[in-house]
Copies of this chain bind each other. A is one copy, B any other.
Amino acid sequence: MNFYSNEDKFNIGVDCIVFGFDEDGLKLLLLKRNFEPAKGKWSLMGGFLNKQESVDDAASRVLSKLTGIDELYMEQLGAFGDVERDPGSRVVSICYYALINIDEQDKELVRKYNAFWISIDQVPELIFDHSLMVKKALQRLRRKASTQPVGFNLLPEKFTLPQLQRLYEAIYQVELDKRNFRKKMLSMKVLEKLEEKDKETSKRGAFYYKFNEDQYNKLVENGFSFGV
């Protein structure tokens, strides 16, 4: 049974923006294309939707293919559907962005796809409408990170408060006051202080914390909302 047999059919693409964070700041995982079309140019990682999978599944598949990570934080950004957006052929693309802990990437895979981590303020021009996608993704990340605890997906499980602060500073491109930042973060009661210290980045060492998701969910049930 097919009610819509007279309707036009389209290729559906899935393009993925991968955010990462390290000591140098916020970064994107971009491909220097060694394949056609637009060989030699920079682009996002992409793929095509297959018949037997959902659009979300396709995005997961593409993201996992590049990063080796099966379960990651991922959100749909939206569909990009200009007629001429892809000169190769008419393709409607559904764009996703993912937040990953940069240490978890599979470096083999990343090399295989000729992908590189590029600082957010040094992103080159990208093919098609991919620059627009990145722009929107950054806006979305900023909005989202300011009202929901998604930023933690960019960090390892254990992180220090100075590290967390650098993350938010990288996302918003502003400098934050150390005392006010800590006060606010700790006041939300969703961070759990660990015994252990990170002695890598300073002599004194900074205490590790971890995000307590159960606690967060409990608070949300009672009307709490995260905000930085």
Contact = CB atoms under 8 A, between A and B. Distances in A.
| Most chain B C-beta atoms within 10 Å of own C-beta, residue among A4, A36, A50, A76 | A4
A174 interface: no
Contact of A48 (B1, B4, B89): B4
| Most chain B C-beta atoms within 10 Å of own C-beta, residue among A10, A80, A91 | A10
A51 interface: yes
18 contacts: A1-B88, A3-B89, A5-B89, A8-B48, A8-B49, A8-B50, A9-B9, A10-B11, A10-B12, A12-B81, A12-B92, A53-B83, A55-B80, A56-B82, A78-B78, A78-B79, A79-B79, A81-B94
Interface string A68-82: 000000001011111
Given A36-B3, A89-B4, A83 B52 contact: yes
Nearest to A35: B3
